[in-house]
Amino acid sequence: MKLSDAQIERFENDGFLVLPSVFTHDEVDALKSDLPRLFAERRPENFREKESDAVRTAMALHQRSDVYARLVRHPRLVEPAKQILGDDLYIQQVKVNAKEAFSGDVWQWHYDFATHHEEDGVPEPLALNLHILLDEVTEFNGPLVFIRGSHRRGPVPATLDTETTSYPLWVVDREAVAELVAEGGLVSAKGPPGTVLIFGDTLVHGSSINMSPWPRTIFSLILNPVSNALTRYRRPEHQHHRDLGAVVSLADDCLIAGAAA
């Protein structure tokens, strides 16, 4: 998959893209079919909600599942990332963020580079986040909300929040968020299963709690130029992978054909 010139221009202006139905229902079903097994595992890669046993984030899925090992090399993710960042990208992080029906918790206002820089020593805000919606995401079940154009400010001040949820996060304060929203406005990243979201390392975003009866599950792959790799090893490997080998695309049918092999 190649992004058009208009899509690249929109990404540069807004800081994100929402691309509906990039992956088929069969491909999404293949991805979702392995999640119950992965979520049931008792291991550090699975972060559970502060007030329940529900999985909030399941990390390093490509090291735990064949289908996710293929997904992180899927051309519909890797090739657009190469268009934006160039070749020689490594797999920085792989996860699924889940919001269980009626109880999925908030993700505070943040941008990813604050964590990548402070925790991992990533020099520049170049990493790219590639999401796939694994459920239908609406305004009711805790969609990601982007502040349009907030990436143009660059890295705004952020502080580490270890109290609000079970996942420590470098967050942006309310005053800065209010200023950014006044400049660019808010966009709710909604769509059917298989929709792809692409956004950069300084785009401020967050999501509210899920009070609906519908789950909200999103896959996330972060790719980063090898030349911009981590320089600090404070976090465990499943939060920032150490293998700096350049990712190589598989065939376009790798999810379904691989499952049948």
The torsion defined by the Cα of 75, 78, 80 and 86, in degrees rounded to 10, comes to -130
| pLDDT on residue 42 | 94
**Whole-angstrom Cα distance, residue 155 to residue 230?**
17
Express each pLDDT in 35-87 by its tens digit. 999 999 999 999 998 878 889 999 999 999 999 999 999 999 999 999 999 98
Interval 178-194 mean pLDDT: 97
Least confident range from 132-136, 166-170, 216-220: namely 166-170
What CATH class has 5-260? mainly beta
pLDDT band (50, 70, 90) for residue 104: confident
pTM, two decimals, is 0.95
pLDDT band (50, 70, 90) for residue 12: very high
